[in-house]
């Protein structure tokens, strides 16, 4: 048992995967000698050489197309997109080819490709460096989408994603890179596609992913001071989505609030709310509410605290669902 950050956990998952499987390759902008903007790939090129850990040109469409070609040739590429807002030039490759190839080949041509995307806000970054584009990819059939909230889950989910035969978009919450956790990596592995109940409660269910999981835990602590015990669920995976765990919790509490940083309209919280309304309607005591970013472009760093869901905003939603 030792204290590790999420950045260290991701680095260790990549190192183990490179060591265990020679078909694993790591590529992206400045991920070689520099070790990436966030140093997630630090020292990997030194250990495994420039043919397995290598820099690419500044061309996200090229990174995606090249990675697809590698996957179809039997490799397991792990591509890094330097920041969330830089991913859009690759979107045609993703939607038209990466997501479709295994289906179109009737399973004969798997695409074992992982795309690592540092995403979301909370670090005071510049424009196009704090976006939450996960709903685009969750909506694209053929892709898996996962989001760790803790170092342990970062290690487990990335290890599983690299071994998966399908393309996996791996969204890493930037504000959690330096979060620490006392854990033995790999000791308590939970399979991709399973949500985790991280706090038990009976008054209301908070459902979140990424950096909003610890924010919901902060909210739960504040609520408990007033005698309100809320349950907190970490989705971990958006596709596949663990509706069963969420519905079981809502059947117990009768109320739900979904929290994410992305804008409200057509955000993944809408899918969670709709699915729960279909599967747990008779158990609901109040409407399902969402606490999210606003329907505006991500704001300048000086005012991002007003955009990202806060403890007060989440507490306000809990008060509303408890008032019905």
pLDDT in tens, 114-164: 999 999 999 999 889 999 999 999 999 999 999 999 999 999 999 999 999
Identify whether residues 150 and 22 lie together within a single domain: yes
- Contact 260/229 with Cβ under 8 angstroms? no
Assigned domain for 190 exists:
no
| Kind and range of the H or E run holding 62 | helix 60-72
pLDDT reading at 110 higher than 80:
yes
- Domain extent, residue 132, equals 2-183
Nearest to 211 by CA among 183, 179, 173, 239: 173
Strand order in the sheet with 196-199: 196-199, 230-234, 204-208, 256-263, 289-293
Assigned domain for 191 exists:
no
Identify whether residues 145 and 261 lie together within a single domain: no
Identify whether residues 205 and 127 lie together within a single domain: no
| Known active-site residue 97 | no
Residue with the larger pLDDT of the pair 189 and 97: 97
pLDDT reading at 285 higher than 80:
yes
Tally the domains of the chain: 2
Nearest to 145 by CA among 238, 207, 271, 267: 238
Average confidence score pLDDT of the chain: 96
Identify whether residues 255 and 173 lie together within a single domain: no
Identify whether residues 168 and 22 lie together within a single domain: yes
pLDDT reading at 314 higher than 90:
yes
Residue 47's CATH number: 3.40.50.970
Identify whether residues 128 and 235 lie together within a single domain: no
Assigned domain for 179 exists:
yes
Identify whether residues 127 and 220 lie together within a single domain: no
User: How far, CA to CA in Å, does 288 sit from each of 13, 146, 227, 281, 316?
Assistant: 36, 23, 21, 10, 13
- Position 181 scores a pLDDT of 82
pLDDT digits (tens, 9 = 90+) for 12-70: 999 999 999 999 999 999 999 999 999 999 999 999 999 999 999 999 999 999 999 99
Identify whether residues 235 and 163 lie together within a single domain: no
List 129, 260, 283, 306, catalytic entry = 129
- Contact 75/25 with Cβ under 8 angstroms? yes
Assigned domain for 189 exists:
no
Q: pTM of the predicted model, to two decimals?
A: 0.96
């Amino acid at each position: 048992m030792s204290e590790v950050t999420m950045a260290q956990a991701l680095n260790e998952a990549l190192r183990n995967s490179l060591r265990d499987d020679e078909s694993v390759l790591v590529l992206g902008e400045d991920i070689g000698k520099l070790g990436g903007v966030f140093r997630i790939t630090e020292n990997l090129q030194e250990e495994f050489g420039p043919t397995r850990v290598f820099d690419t040109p500044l061309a996200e469409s090229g990174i995606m197309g090249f990675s697809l070609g590698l996957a179809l040739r039997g490799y397991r590429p792990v591509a890094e997109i330097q920041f969330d807002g830089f991913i859009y030039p690759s979107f045609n490759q993703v939607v038209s080819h990466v997501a479709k190839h295994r289906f179109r080949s009737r399973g004969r041509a798997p695409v074992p490709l992982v795309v690592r995307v540092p995403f979301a806000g909370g670090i005071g970054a510049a424009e196009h460096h704090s976006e939450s584009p996960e709903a685009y990819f969750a909506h694209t059939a053929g892709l898996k989408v996962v989001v760790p909230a803790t170092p342990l889950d970062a290690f487990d989910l990335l290890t599983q994603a690299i071994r998966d035969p399908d393309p996996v978009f791996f969204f890493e919450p930037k504000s959690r890179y330096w979060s620490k956790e006392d854990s033995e990596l790999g000791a308590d592995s939970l399979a991709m596609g399973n949500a985790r109940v991280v706090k038990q409660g009976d008054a209301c269910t908070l459902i979140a992913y990424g950096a909003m999981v610890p924010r919901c835990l902060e909210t739960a602590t504040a609520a408990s001071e007033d005698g309100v015990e809320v349950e907190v669920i970490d989705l971990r995976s958006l596709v596949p989505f663990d509706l069963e765990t969420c519905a079981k919790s809502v059947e117990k509490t009768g109320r739900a609030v979904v929290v994410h940083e992305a804008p409200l309209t057509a955000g993944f919280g809408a899918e969670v709310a709709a699915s729960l309304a279909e599967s747990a309607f008779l158990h609901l005591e109040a409407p399902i509410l969402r606490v999210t970013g606003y329907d505006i472009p991500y704001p300048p760093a000086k005012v991002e605290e007003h955009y990202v869901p806060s403890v007060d905003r989440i507490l306000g939603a809990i008060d509303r669902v408890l008032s019905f």
